Homo-oligomer: A and B are copies of this chain.
Amino acid sequence: MKVPGKYLLFLGDVADRLSAKTACGLLDWARDECVGQSRLTGCGVDLGLPDLDFAAARQAGAQTLVIGVAPFGGTIAPHWIEPIVAALTAGLNVASGMHIRLRSVPAIAAAADAAGVGLFDIRVPAATYPIASGRKRAGRRMLMVGTDCAVGKKYTALTIARDMAARGMKASFRATGQTGILIAGEGVPIDAVVADFVAGAAEALSPDNHADHWDVIEGQGSLFHPAYAGVALGLLHGSQPDAIVLCHAAGRTHIDGYPDFPIPALAECVDLNLRLARLTNPAARCAGIAINTSALPATARADHLRAVSAQLGMPCFDPLATGSGAMLDHLTAAVG
């Protein structure tokens, strides 16, 4: 399932960039594929791309309207159906990372069939997966884990994979969510897999490889999330990580959308992830802490990273601000 580029990014009427994760991810990591944005009245996000209508987008080379927002629960808002139908009628394919299948909306299915264009449901698993075997695989694996959803796990993994490649290390980014799959061109929408098969799907995502090859695996959810911890655990067990990287957003005080659930202490989060990871890889350890410091004053960011590093005794970096070099130096010294 390869989605035809280039992309027109649909932002609907979402209020903030956190709700436009998919669009922002494509803009940052697949910029050349993005020709414009499509927004409804009231949209609070501006990606800095040209606002194009569907005909203009086609003229600019767009083949697919990508639903660039990830609303809570993964459903299509009723008032988005009309613009999606209009895009299809104008000859654009439509790609969605939501749980609901595009084809399950009759007006969307009819418009796609009438226009002879495609509907791509990135979040619907393209394959069936076996039950996890627990068998140890060749090669090395690094999994992003998080204090919460939307703390930068995908950006951290993409940064690490890019930085590893720049050093001549063998590395592959492994996508587990809709945005990562659109960026990488492949992957497993792990939270959409039937629960019994999550660990098995994670095993399939990072198969046997060269002894010195790193799979850098995008994380999902958090062990401290009241809705998604099971997904995080299945991914942790199936990934069998040699190293985890804890991802966090500085300044976040509670699980996003769950005011009664505080963000755990970083040390507790590392400890619980390692305790559980060691079921399938007894050698699992934490390689470092990735912190999105953008919510802090610019002058406080470097001090914050240094303080966390000193407190936890491991490398701490902001992937967008500093890259992952400090962690990779440490990793290379430790494992070669």
Contact = CB atoms under 8 A, between A and B. Distances in A.
Interface of A: 72-74, 99, 130-134, 190-196, 198-200, 223-224, 226-235, 237, 258, 260-261, 272, 275-276, 279-280
B131 A227 contact: yes
3 smallest beta-carbon distances between A and B, as pairs: A230-B234, A134-B226, A132-B227
Q: From A130, A194, A200, name the one whose CB has the most chain B CB atoms within 10 angstroms.
A: A194
Nearest to A136: B260
Contacts of A132: 226-227
Given A99-B196, A233-B233, A261-B279, A227 B190 contact: no
Nearest to A268: B275
B226 A258 contact: no
B131 A234 contact: no
A226 B191 CA distance: 17
Nearest to A192: B194
Contacts of A279: 224, 226, 229, 261
A226 B134 CA distance: 6
Given A193-B195, A272-B275, 6 more contacts: A73-B131, A74-B196, A134-B227, A191-B196, A193-B194, A230-B237
B261 A134 contact: yes
23 contacts: A73-B131, A99-B196, A131-B227, A134-B258, A134-B260, A134-B261, A190-B195, A191-B195, A192-B195, A193-B195, A195-B231, A196-B228, A196-B231, A199-B226, A223-B233, A226-B279, A226-B280, A229-B233, A229-B237, A229-B276, A230-B232, A261-B279, A272-B275
A194 B195 contact: yes
A245 B226 CA distance: 21
A115 to B, nearest CB: 29
A192 B199 contact: no
Q: From A73, A99, A230, name the one whose CB has the most chain B CB atoms within 10 angstroms.
A: A230
A227 B261 contact: no
A260 B133 CA distance: 10
Contacts of A72: 131
Given A73-B130, A131-B73, A229 B190 contact: no
A246 to B, nearest CB: 17
A281 to B, nearest CB: 10
Q: From A73, A196, A223, A231, name the one whose CB has the most chain B CB atoms within 10 angstroms.
A: A196
A232 B233 CA distance: 10
Contacts of A226: 132-134, 199, 237, 279-280
A198 B195 contact: yes
Given A73-B131, A226-B280, A227-B132, A195 B261 contact: no
Nearest to A132: B227
A331 to B, nearest CB: 26
